[in-house]
Structure 1
Amino acid sequence: MNFNDLKYVLALQKAPNLGDRTAKKLIARLGSARAIFEEKRQNLLKIEGIGALKLKGLLDPTNFEAAESELEFIQDEQLKTHYFLEDNYPEKLKYCHDAPILMFSKGKIQLENHRIISIVGTRKITSAGKSFVEQFIEELSPLNPIIVSGFAYGVDIAAHRAAVANNLQTIGCLAHGFNQIYPKVHAKYVDSVLENGGFFSDFWSTDNFGRNNFLKRNRIIAGLSEATVVIESAEKGGSLVTADIANSYNREVFAVPGRPGDKYSKGCNELIKSNNAHLLSSAADLVYMLGWKLQEEIKPVQQQLFVDLDSEEQQIYDHLKEKGKSQLDTIALYCNFPTFKTASILLNMELKGVIRPLPGKLFEAI
């Protein structure tokens, strides 16, 4: 998009009381942001949802003054822009009705041909929660997913750091413009995130920083991803809002269960209890529910003549050799293992190159 067209999009985004959904409706009706501002006032008033108040805000000339100033900031900071009708706009976000018409990014973000998950949770992460984040992302690393979070305290920054430690892309969704970093103590992590992914934001450098920004930011966290994972949450919190948004987008939601009396397990337990999230005990649960296949991500390797299998793996391997192709539930029943445990064992066996997944959630020995 050239700078002149971008100026019109920015002016549209700046218009008060309008919102992304109404802006998209206007663009769909008139063809472009520029055409909106060139349309006659009386014709704009005929469009459903455009009343006198919204029209007054839309046609306020200070919108263009602000747009020109923000254009200078975008150029100075070398930000990339992502317009919702252009190819570089995140594909999954295009299907979210309230996604921003324009976003800004910085870093080395590459979304194509990648699985993307969001990880959210309490800002007061426990040591157990931190350990789960680190182990979970390490277990997922062979599938090379992108890890999205909010760059906040607690679970967010733990997820970003674990992604970097495992050489995975990670994306921080900011609740402010690129003129600042919050919390300031996380400035020391900015460079590593930029090198291993980057940041998205739909906020301007001139936008006020407030609590509502975090709630607005959460729609991007949920919308970028095919699944949202909640790791530790109190009874109320922003991560539960993100989970609700993800459910409204028909995305998968997972929650890590905890003891009933634990403060930061209450939110997760309630999500599971109300069937608003799948129970997540390990990376294997997510891999199974999303139908991810290791063979798409890992180059085929010749089976080793001697592979070390523990007794449980050997039991499953012997079953597959005898019966041929089997489904997860059948394997679990035959071997007398819980389904979640069987899924975890199968993932480890895939990594060892002794079994492979097939369509229909089938597995066979190699």
Structure 2
Amino acid sequence: MSDQELFYLLALLKVDGVGDIMAKKLLVNCSKAEDVFKTKTNQLAAIDGVGSVLLKNLKDKSIFEKANQELEFIRKNNITVSYFQEENYPDRLKHCLDSPVLLFSGGNINLKNKKIISIVGTRQITSYGIEFCRKLIEDLIPLDPVIVSGFAYGVDIVAHQFAMDYNLQTIGVLAHGLNQVYPKTHKKYMAKMEGNGGFITEFWSSSNPDKENFVKRNRIVAGISEATIVIESADKGGSLITANLANDYNRDVFAVPGRVTDRYSQGCNDLIKTQKANVLTSAADLIYVLNWDLEKKPKVIQQQLFIDLNPDEQKIYDFLLKNGKELLDIIALECDLPIFKISGTLLNMELKGIIRPLPGKMFEVV
């Protein structure tokens, strides 16, 4: 992305009233961020959600000064910028309607063709939670997963530490800009994390670790990964928000059960009781549900005859016929179809008897 393109994207995101969803609407209609500022008012007004206040805010010249300041910070510190329409943007996050338009990252991050899981939980992690987290990550070593968390106290930093101990890539999703560290006591972990993983944020260098930012960053933690794991949680907390977001994004959620009398097992037990999470007692549960232990084996599939398929169904059928069983998210990505659309299409194909679902949101041709 050129500096000019990034400059106008930053300016657009600085417009009061333009969040990620509105920014995407404007970009879809105007193609480029620069064009948003050059498009006639009456054309912009025709876009759903654009009103007189937003049109006025788009003429605020101060946004360009702020965008230029942030651009200088990005270039000076060699920060990697990922745009939601470009290849270097995390694949699974692209399918989340409210995902950030821009992500800023530092370190040595590689998410391509990787198994990615998010591990979250209470800041008051117990010895039970620590040992479970250690054993889980140790048992996953052969699968070389990327461990994502929020770099906070408790479960977050414990997950990052064990990932580093076992030489697995680990990523901290921050609730502030890349120019600071929060909590400050975790600064000692940064260099090692950046060597094999690093940090991701949607927040600018001018952003502080305000309370609302932690809630906002949870959607990245939930959306970037294949599954979210709650190690321990009280009956309320940020990790439960992350679990609910993961469910909203049609991702698998796992919770570690505990004694009903344990305060920091109440949230996990409730997730399981209300069927918002799979029970997680060991790495084997995760591997089974996500189908990570199933190898793709070539097999002869007889072509289905005399079945009418619409263009989307044909695209999916041809893809599965060629590649064998595959994850819903990968099917959506490779067939260039949004998750909300592909789910209904897969159901129709299942009813027609030409595909069948497998555990872990996988599908194959019958």
TM-score bin, normalised by smaller chain: 0.7 to 0.9
- Matched with 2:346 is none
Post-superposition Cα deviations, 1:293-337, rounded to whole Å, max 9, x if no partner, equal 2768xxxxxxxxxxxxxxxxxxxxxxxxxxxxxxxxxxxxxxxxx
**Partner residue in 1 for 2:168:** 168
Counterpart residue number, 1:106: 106
Supply the distance in 2 between the matched residues of 1:294 and 1:123 (Cα, whole angstroms).
Answer: 35
Secondary structure, aligned partner of 2:140? helix
Residues 246 and 252, structure 2, Cα contact 8 Å, conserved in 1: yes
Match of 1:43 in 2: 43
Matched, 1:143 2:175: no
Q: Deviations over 1:46-89 (max 9, x none)?
A: 21100112222233111111000001100111100000011100
Amino acid at match of 1:156: D
1:218 to 2:240 alignment = no
Matched, 1:3 2:13: no
Verify the 8 A CA contact 2:182 2:209 in the aligned structure 1: no
> Which structure 1 segments of 5+ residues have no match?
297-358, 362-366
| TM-score normalised to structure 1 length | 0.80
Q: How many residues align?
A: 299
**Which deviations, in whole Å up to 9, do the C-alpha atoms of 1:165-206 show, x marking residues without a partner?**
111100100000011000000000001110110110000011
Match of 2:308 in 1: none
2:120 and 2:256 map into 1 onto residues whose CA distance is 11
Partner of 2:56: 56
Choose 220-229 or 13-22, whichever is displaced more.
13-22
CA RMSD of aligned residues (A): 1.3
Which residue identity lines up with residue 244 of structure 1 in the other structure? N
Q: Secondary structure at the match of 1:12?
A: helix
* Equivalent residues of 1:143, 1:294 under 8 A apart: no
Q: Deviations over 1:13-33 (max 9, x none)?
A: 111221101110111111111
The aligned amino acid for 2:99 is A
Match of 1:130 in 2: 130
> SS state of the match for residue 67, structure 1?
helix
Equivalence for 1:27: 27
Q: Are 1:13 and 2:13 counterparts?
A: yes
| CA distance in structure 2 between the aligned counterparts of 1:360 and 1:105, rounded to whole angstroms | 35
- Supply the distance in 1 between the matched residues of 2:179 and 2:201 (Cα, whole angstroms): 11
In the alignment, which residue of structure 1 is the partner of 2:349?
none
Q: Could you say what secondary structure the match of 2:75 adopts?
A: helix
Q: Is the 8 A contact 1:142 1:294 kept in 2?
A: no
- Give the % identical residues: 56
**Which amino acid is the alignment partner of residue 35 of structure 1?**
D
One-letter amino acid matched to 2:46: K
Structure number with greater Rg is 1
Within 1, Cα distance between the matches of 2:217 and 2:261? 30
Identify the residue that residue 324 of structure 1 maps to in structure 2: none
Cα offsets for 1:98-121 (capped at 9, x unmatched): 000001000110001110000000
Contact persistence 2:177–2:208 (CA under 8 A): no
Which secondary structure does the structure 2 equivalent of 1:104 belong to? Answer: strand
- Is 1:86 aligned to residue 86 of structure 2? yes
Instruction: Report which stretch shifted further, 70-79 or 46-55.
Output: 46-55
